[in-house]
Amino acid sequence: MNTEKKKLVVIALGGNAIKQAHEKGTAEEQFKNVEITCEQLVKMNAMGYKLIITHGNGPQAGNLLIQQEEGKNIVPPQPLDVVGAMTQGQIGYMFQNTLQNYFMQKGKDIPITAVITQVLVKEDDPDFKDPSKPVGPFYTEVEAKELEKAKGYIVKKVKPNSDKPWRRVVPSPEPYGIVESNCIKALVDARAIVIASGGGGIPVMKNNDGTLSGLEAVIDKDKAGNKLAQEVKADIFLVLTDVENAKINFGEQNEQALGNITVEEAEKYLQEGHFLAGSMGPKVTAAIRFVKAGGEKSIITSLANAADALNGKTGTIIVK
């Protein structure tokens, strides 16, 4: 009998795992991408890993926010935390359905489930004072100012030289806890493949009486994914994006892909500004935090290279 403990991997899927940049975001397009992504997940399952999957929701939440806006005279628009929950359901369903169908056809009985996940943030997080994350549709200055007055939205000019350069911005606070992590862990221990903390999770704050209230904010999915990985005591944190490696001197002549590196090296490169804020920056930050908190290793690579990276053959691998 094989008594070796199966390793638990938390996989953070990038935007391209669900919707390609050039696509509109039809259900058919998204199911097709999810199917390609699931081929990789199935490979990892066959390699003997226990899996928790988390994912982004930027394009899906953006589209839903447009639907709230455009339909507001017919049905009441829903706030951002509710929209976040809706995207967790939407994307969770696509993965559940696709993985279930795959395993059913192979005659494998593996429970697959998505968990609506709330993530704790602090009300006094500095990002609440000066929100930086653009969400939803683009507006003209007149439209933006109207929304500012009517709804108290914070709006910023984010795309100069456009006829609709304004956008709503929301805070992007640091996650400090995953409300459902015990449930997620129990499901994994019961052999399930779990989809959780989608879109970085639904931001909630703890009130004085201990109750939780949803907030209109967006948490970085890689940072929330790392928190989840820590709380479920994952062995490996695997960040899958659209590039095979994190690079130093990114976009320069002397650009260099990073292979196996230590936390100290990663921190040095991060401080030197090699990883852009809002894209590779939070991935490397999350990867460093995971290893520092006692995780075995963090890996950053592309979706297509996931299995090879787990075998140590490619990707940026960060260890102690």
Residue 279 engages ligand ADP in binding (rule: CB under 6 A):
yes
- Closer residue to ligand ADP (CB): 192 or 300: 300
Residue 56 engages ligand ADP in binding (rule: CB under 6 A):
yes
Return the residue of 275, 297, 299, 310 that touches ligand ADP, per CB under 6 A: 275
Q: Which amino acid is at 317?
A: I
* Least distance between ligand ADP and beta carbon 181 (Å): 22
Return the residue of 29, 148, 235, 242 that touches ligand ADP, per CB under 6 A: 242
Q: Quick one: 119 exposed, middle or buried, by C-beta within 10 A (0-12, 13-18, 19+)?
A: buried
CB under 8 Å, gap of 24 or more: what pairs does 264-269 form?
266/318
Question: What is the rounded end-to-end Cα distance, in angstroms, of the chain?
Answer: 32
* Least distance between ligand ADP and beta carbon 320 (Å): 22
Residue nearest to ligand ADP (CB): 14
Number of residues this chain uses to bind ligand ADP (CB under 6 A): 14
- Closer residue to ligand ADP (CB): 91 or 280: 280
Residue pair 303/240 in contact (Cβ under 8 Å)? The answer is yes
- Closer residue to ligand ADP (CB): 67 or 279: 279
Beta bridge partners of 260: 317
Phi, psi of 48 (to 5 degrees): 95, 15
What are 107's two structure tokens? 């005659």
What are 154's two structure tokens? 């914070």
Residue 15 engages ligand ADP in binding (rule: CB under 6 A):
yes
Looking at 19, 50, 185, 221, which residue is catalytic?
221
Residue 102 engages ligand ADP in binding (rule: CB under 6 A):
no
- What is the distance between the alpha carbons of residues 193 and 97, in angstroms, rounded to a whole number? 12
Q: Is 7 helix (H, G, I), strand (E, B) or coil?
A: coil
Residue 55 engages ligand ADP in binding (rule: CB under 6 A):
no
* Least distance between ligand ADP and beta carbon 13 (Å): 7
Smallest CA-to-CA distance from 217 within 141, 137, 122, 88 is with: 122
Residue 14 engages ligand ADP in binding (rule: CB under 6 A):
yes
Residues 6+ apart with CB under 8 A from 67: none
Looking at 15, 84, 199, 295, which residue is catalytic?
15
Which residues in this chain contact ligand ADP in the complex, by CB under 6 A? 14-15, 56, 241-243, 246-247, 250, 274-276, 279-280
Q: Which residues are catalytic?
A: 15-16, 133, 221, 283
